[in-house]
Structure 1
Amino acid sequence: MGTKPTKIALLLGSLSTLALSAPQALADELEASKIDEHLVVIGRADTLPLNIAANVNVIDSADIEMSGATSLTEVLRGQSGIQVSDNNVGTSYAMRGFSASTAVNNTLILLDGRRLNNIDIAAPSLNAIPLNLIERIEILSGSAGVLYGDQAVGGVINIVTRSPENTAGSVQLSGGSFNTYEGRGDISGAINDNWHYYLSANYNQGDNYRDHNANETGSILGRIQYKTATDMFMVESSYYDDDRENPGSLTEDEFKQDPRFSWNSSEYVHQMTTALRSAYQHQLNQHWSLQADVDYSDTLVTSLNWGTNSRNTRSLLMFSPKAVGHYTTRQGELNLVTGLDISRGKAEFHSSARSNEQRLQSVYLQATVPLSQTLNYVVGGRYAEVSDELVDGAAYPNGIDLDEDASALEFGLNYRPNAEQRFYIRYDQNFRFAKVDEQAYTPSDVYGLKPQTGESYEAGWDWIGQSQTLKLSLYQLDLKDEIVFDPSANTPTGGTFLGANVNADASRRYGASVDWDWQLANAWLVGLEYHYVDAEFTAGLNDGNKLSWVAEHSGRGYLSLDFAEHFQLFTEAVYTGERFIEGDNANEGQKLGGYVLANAAVNYQRDAWQASLRVDNLLDKDYVSSGYFGGDWGDSYYSGRGRDVRLTLGYRF
């Protein structure tokens, strides 16, 4: 393909190591790689993510092209220890030892720094983001409670979109298994020296692997940007529409007999979201810049499940002003970032006569302070308050007001003895508040859930050689009052199904990760990563039991080979280890078996033309992509996607 593995290895090696003040050799490498620094928002500062005492991985557009992946889910699967759960109508992404249902609320997902996590427990719809829109993906593994506050517990995934500053465009058409067809297009250009525009559109339809699981999905985005030496202003509007049939769950016997089977014939989920965003940045002087984002989203979800029609609406307005400072000292760069995060979300669940207006405001400050040219420390804090105005037709017909607060502190050390190595240690507190629908479905004697709080400890070492890179990290994550759904809890007043949302017993997660890649020759690149998580309860009835749905062992290996002038081969294997089915906190049942998904792609590029043939689940492995413990009622299973072949043709202009 057009980007040789040698350049890919350079990008991976350069960005996998973090520091406040990179030596000149590393700075030259970054400049040669032509990274758009102003687009990197991990750290909420206007710099590369090199000053964060944390494990950060960057997947750029060259990596995405190298993989031949056709969806964001396949790009993220197995990366940085991410475990994917798919119930055939939505996907969640777990980091550092969370189950599928809790991952939605403990993995923060951003688009250019804007939150995509919903104010209710529904998973964010990453299908709304076509791959041609993505410049790169930044993955921060671990807690980021000071930088991002609510829900930044297990990790942060930030998706950075393309800049409109270049005149360019592309068109892609693809088709493949399960009657899947997709079209993508984007164009950007200059109106004049200061004004630029960007437009992107995507349409996808297919029957998918399961019976009665067809989808029709489309999105469109438009952005106008004004930029001078001291000011930047942009306004953006987007619309997303996903209409998807719901095949429902299977019993264990049904899954073994035919994983594609579905009893459903009319159930569906239809989601429509409109989003508006505006951002302004002003360089006040040589040291300080002022920035502010205003974001608004409005979503309508209609569905038919278990023979019942439902209609839910949610809206969210966010205002995030901040100030960023840079000072040069004899020891190195002193960086400061401080700001406010203010949001107002409202959800109405029409079928249950329930509504909730949630207001959240927080203030934060983080400083990166140099002690020498090779050593710096990061310190910061955040304070947050939340209020809920909840009405529920059964539990709170006259309404109830709930108020909570939480705080977080952070301290980290970065030590870089030379250009090849970096050591870091980090302590970060985290929290999350109950979602708007979690507060309503609690036991009758519980009036509001307490905030979930936690502490994260981490240490790591990064090494960059001439042809190899190696990253090692160790961590511990302790949580108390974790907000979960407990199927054995007392059903709320007027509840329609067993169980309730509760503050669970304390839990602890130990973990380790190894990430290695090696440029064998100009045409060869290989990589391996392994992730270990020991997640268990540390108090209460389930003390000592393993947390459900968390695979103790997971990993990924890949190989890229440029085998001809215009051709490149990519293969990968993603391993997910055995685990208890979700909800089996007593560890009563048998573990689900581990599995390996093998994927392969052949890519071709010549001049402005591109082609890719990608095969996901090459060996057609049957596996459970999502499952829930049912006790005496029996467990529920959702099938992973079978062998999937996609051919994509593209043209850039």
Structure 2
Amino acid sequence: MGTKPTTIAVLLGAMLSVSAPLQAAEATNQNATQIDETITVIGRSESTPLNIAANVNVIDAAAIEMGGATTLTDVLRGQSGIQISDSNSGAVFAMRGFSASQAANNTLILIDGRRLNNIDIAAPTINAIPLNQIERVEILSGSAGVLYGDQAVGGVINIITKAPNGAGGSVQVSAGSFDTYEGQAEGSVAINDRWRLYAAGSYNQGDNYRDHNANETSSVLGRLQYRDDLQEFFVETSYYDNHRELAGDLTLEQIEDDPRQSNATLVGAPDSYMHEMTTAARTGYQRQLSEQWALQADLNYSDTLITGLNSWGTARKDTRSLLEFMPKIIANIATDSGMLNLVTGVDLSRGESDFSSGRSNVQEQVSAYVQATVPLTQSVSYVVGGRYAEVADDLVDPQAYPDGVDLDQDAHAFELGLNYRPTANHRLYVRADENFRFAKVDEQAYTPASVVGLKPQTGRSYEAGWDWIFSGNSLRVSAYRLDLEDEIVFDSSAETPTGGSFPGANVNADASRRYGVSLDWDWQVTQAVQLGVEYNYIDAEFTDGINDGKSLSWVAEHSGRAYVSYDIYEHLQLFAEGVYTGERFIEGDDGNVDPKLDDYLLTNIALNYTRNAWLASLRVDNLFDEQYVSAGYYSAWGNGYYSGSGRAVRLTASYRF
């Protein structure tokens, strides 16, 4: 949604995006149809959404600024069927019908192609990327097992950061409810015709909605890049620091009494907190070998230290690191029928984790893949590809594997798709794709005593879609089916592991199936008014075993989003949106024992004012102060719930130079 922003939205994007002059020139004429914007999420090389047999949504800087959002979580909420779970310490994003505990392992999140997903089950800290550093966000709905392998089951979110070619920058400050204050700055300089230097930094502090939930967050990033006619090179380093108090879970009665209260003092840990510090380094090289062939390679490293005191008063000190090397070759070969695109490469990774509990793991993955998009005619092409992956775990756990255990597993994926584009603004596609994911260290170490190593989760995805751009309208419709086998889940009724501290265990579950339909419509009513509607339907249930026919927990059957953008006059724009999440069973209630949680509608509005290089924005989230459950977990000991944030007001001002 948001592919054709109103006039002021275009100006906002022009002011706050490094590549804005070109974007503004292309988008100023509201009667012109934007069709072939370039993306990089599919094929791991540049392409255009309508040339790809997949459901892809691009959220550019103009659309982000149009909504006045202040965090990436706010930007993604409700987009492309994304359902969110937030335990008041960071959100996880589910696509294509996964529960909150599975979302972080079945939705792959990338930043410029680098994995943010962790070696353990901890959700990636997506808000570590301030919005002032983001050029666009690309969302692939559906599995991408061939292109990305492990964890690309429900979808892929690729966050593209700015890589400026000129000089300039911006400064932004904001303040709002719950004593929230934030500052952001970014800028670039041209050392000479080929070398550029880019730097960005941010700082945020706030008490947040609930008691004992304050945070202090900061990040810095620096990038040096080189570009000439044949090659590109960059080196980048970043640091992220987040200290957050933990408010703990509540009962439904406590939420009804006071949703802002903390449970930390009730369980004897009034000082519970989490402190995460991540250092990352990244370098990449690309060379055009000939007119048709190019070589690319990325080397990424990240190191994280997490300290804190959990809700039960136990201290923690956990570390994890990930090293990746991803060389690939890309070919774009002209034929009589069109361009033949080929990408092939190898993904190598080594992750290490050490937990204060004494658990540790070294995980190494090696995989190779190839994908080709082959034109049959000027309007018809097909995509075919495959991937093979091997993983080796060297795991130690004081209870389950005190002497250590070596686990070696492998998986594969194939895909086949057909794309039909009869005109420049019309296309249909069908696609079949296999996917897989390997168990994380936390999951492998908390299994029933009879299980030594969970099997890889495997699945098959079938999808068909239709895109049509006409007379100021953009319509996308898709339908899919996702079948999974040996799905890796936590089962509260399973045999408790040896030395386990709570009932249940991680298991390979019975087969499950998800059907879904999505509809996305944007309409440029006039030059000043734009409307958009998105609706998503998911039928997710077990298809075998004791829970055969039961609904998968934490998956809302109905969800959607609607928005309107209105240019009041030349410099002032009003934006309003509603994000709906339907009823769903609490996380972990696979037997559908408890009543469903209530549905809810969040209404957000923003008023944006821009003049020359200045921008001011007033945004109100949850305008009607809707009370809802943002996360919840089923337990035989008693369910735990987390309340969603109430009404929040944020005033932002920025200047671009």
* Common fold: TM-score over 0.5: yes
Instruction: Check 1:34–1:469 CA distance in 2 against 1; reply closer, same or farther (3 A cut).
Output: closer
Q: CA offsets per residue over residues 293-345 of structure 1, 9 Å max, x none?
A: 00000000112111100110000000000000010001000000000000000
Amino acid in structure 1 at the alignment position of 2:321: S
Map of 1:281 onto structure 2: 286
- 3-state DSSP of counterpart to 1:438: helix
The answer (yes or no) to whether the contact 1:42–1:158 under 8 Å persists in 2 is no
Q: Determine the C-alpha separation between the residues in 1 that align with 2:563 and 2:289.
A: 46
Map of 1:523 onto structure 2: 528
Residue 486 of structure 1 deviates from its aligned partner by 1.2
Map of 1:93 onto structure 2: 93
Residue 47 of structure 1 deviates from its aligned partner by 3.1
1:8-407 paired onto structure 2 within 5 Å: 37=38, 40-264=40-264, 265-305=270-310, 306-350=312-356, 352-407=357-412
The answer (yes or no) to whether the contact 2:30–2:527 under 8 Å persists in 1 is no
Instruction: Between 241-250 and 252-261, report the one with greater CA deviation.
Output: 252-261
The answer (yes or no) to whether the contact 2:172–2:654 under 8 Å persists in 1 is yes
- 3-state DSSP of counterpart to 2:200: strand
Q: Determine the C-alpha separation between the residues in 1 that align with 2:145 and 2:35.
A: 31
Q: CA offsets per residue over residues 66-101 of structure 1, 9 Å max, x none?
A: 000001000000000000110011210000100001
Instruction: Check 1:566–1:7 CA distance in 2 against 1; reply closer, same or farther (3 A cut).
Output: closer
- 3-state DSSP of counterpart to 1:563: strand
Aligned-residue RMSD, C-alpha: 2.0
The answer (yes or no) to whether the contact 1:42–1:138 under 8 Å persists in 2 is no
Amino acid in structure 1 at the alignment position of 2:353: A
Q: Determine the C-alpha separation between the residues in 2 that align with 1:34 and 1:458.
A: 22
The answer (yes or no) to whether the contact 2:485–2:511 under 8 Å persists in 1 is yes
Q: Determine the C-alpha separation between the residues in 2 that align with 1:174 and 1:36.
A: 31
Residue 498 of structure 1 deviates from its aligned partner by 1.6
- 3-state DSSP of counterpart to 2:255: helix
Q: Would you say 1:647 and 2:648 are equivalent positions?
A: no
Q: Determine the C-alpha separation between the residues in 2 that align with 1:117 and 1:30.
A: 41
Q: Determine the C-alpha separation between the residues in 1 that align with 2:434 and 2:135.
A: 30
Map of 2:6 onto structure 1: 5
Instruction: Check 1:652–1:62 CA distance in 2 against 1; reply closer, same or farther (3 A cut).
Output: same
Q: What TM-score, normalized by structure 2, do the two folds share?
A: 0.94
- 3-state DSSP of counterpart to 2:118: coil
Residue 395 of structure 1 deviates from its aligned partner by 1.4
Map of 1:413 onto structure 2: 418
Q: CA offsets per residue over residues 446-468 of structure 1, 9 Å max, x none?
A: 00000000000000000000211
Map of 1:20 onto structure 2: none
Instruction: Check 1:622–1:603 CA distance in 2 against 1; reply closer, same or farther (3 A cut).
Output: same
The answer (yes or no) to whether the contact 1:164–1:225 under 8 Å persists in 2 is no
- 3-state DSSP of counterpart to 1:545: coil
Q: Determine the C-alpha separation between the residues in 2 that align with 1:297 and 1:31.
A: 43
Instruction: Check 1:546–1:194 CA distance in 2 against 1; reply closer, same or farther (3 A cut).
Output: same
Map of 1:18 onto structure 2: none
Q: Determine the C-alpha separation between the residues in 2 that align with 1:51 and 1:388.
A: 39
Q: Determine the C-alpha separation between the residues in 1 that align with 2:137 and 2:46.
A: 16
Residue 52 of structure 1 deviates from its aligned partner by 2.0
Amino acid in structure 2 at the alignment position of 1:334: L
Q: Determine the C-alpha separation between the residues in 2 that align with 1:523 and 1:236.
A: 40
Instruction: Check 1:7–1:371 CA distance in 2 against 1; reply closer, same or farther (3 A cut).
Output: farther
Map of 1:538 onto structure 2: 543
- 3-state DSSP of counterpart to 2:254: helix
1:559-574 paired onto structure 2 within 5 Å: 559-574=564-579
Q: CA offsets per residue over residues 145-173 of structure 1, 9 Å max, x none?
A: 00000000000000000112121100000
Q: Determine the C-alpha separation between the residues in 2 that align with 1:634 and 1:374.
A: 57
Q: Mark the runs of 5 or more structure 1 residues left unpaired by the alignment.
A: 13-24
- 3-state DSSP of counterpart to 2:317: strand
The answer (yes or no) to whether the contact 2:284–2:298 under 8 Å persists in 1 is yes
The answer (yes or no) to whether the contact 1:51–1:368 under 8 Å persists in 2 is no
User: Which of 567, 578, 581 lines up with 1:576 in the alignment?
Assistant: 581
The answer (yes or no) to whether the contact 1:4–1:523 under 8 Å persists in 2 is no
Instruction: Check 1:406–1:485 CA distance in 2 against 1; reply closer, same or farther (3 A cut).
Output: same
Amino acid in structure 1 at the alignment position of 2:6: P
Q: Determine the C-alpha separation between the residues in 2 that align with 1:48 and 1:387.
A: 36
The answer (yes or no) to whether the contact 1:356–1:437 under 8 Å persists in 2 is no
Q: What TM-score, normalized by structure 1, do the two folds share?
A: 0.95
Q: Tell me how many residue pairs correspond in the alignment.
A: 635
Q: CA offsets per residue over residues 575-624 of structure 1, 9 Å max, x none?
A: 00000001000001100010000000000000000000000000000000
Residue 11 of structure 1 deviates from its aligned partner by 14
The answer (yes or no) to whether the contact 2:426–2:468 under 8 Å persists in 1 is yes
Amino acid in structure 1 at the alignment position of 2:593: E
Q: Determine the C-alpha separation between the residues in 2 that align with 1:133 and 1:638.
A: 30
Instruction: Between 431-440 and 130-139, report the one with greater CA deviation.
Output: 431-440
The answer (yes or no) to whether the contact 2:8–2:567 under 8 Å persists in 1 is no
Q: Mark the runs of 5 or more structure 2 residues left unpaired by the alignment.
A: 14-25, 265-269
The answer (yes or no) to whether the contact 1:421–1:463 under 8 Å persists in 2 is yes
1:581-596 paired onto structure 2 within 5 Å: 581-596=586-601
- 3-state DSSP of counterpart to 2:442: coil
User: Which of 624, 632, 646 lines up with 1:627 in the alignment?
Assistant: 632
Q: Determine the C-alpha separation between the residues in 2 that align with 1:285 and 1:31.
A: 34
Q: Determine the C-alpha separation between the residues in 1 that align with 2:296 and 2:46.
A: 10
The answer (yes or no) to whether the contact 1:575–1:596 under 8 Å persists in 2 is yes
Amino acid in structure 1 at the alignment position of 2:209: Y
Instruction: Check 1:54–1:515 CA distance in 2 against 1; reply closer, same or farther (3 A cut).
Output: same
Q: Determine the C-alpha separation between the residues in 2 that align with 1:508 and 1:7.
A: 43
Q: Sequence identity, in percent?
A: 65
Q: CA offsets per residue over residues 197-252 of structure 1, 9 Å max, x none?
A: 11000100000001000000000000000001110000000000000000000011
Residue 59 of structure 1 deviates from its aligned partner by 0.2
Q: Determine the C-alpha separation between the residues in 1 that align with 2:428 and 2:51.
A: 12
Instruction: Check 1:233–1:418 CA distance in 2 against 1; reply closer, same or farther (3 A cut).
Output: same
Map of 2:499 onto structure 1: 494
The answer (yes or no) to whether the contact 1:303–1:309 under 8 Å persists in 2 is yes
The answer (yes or no) to whether the contact 2:58–2:137 under 8 Å persists in 1 is yes
Q: Would you say 1:604 and 2:605 are equivalent positions?
A: no
Map of 1:15 onto structure 2: none
Amino acid in structure 1 at the alignment position of 2:344: T
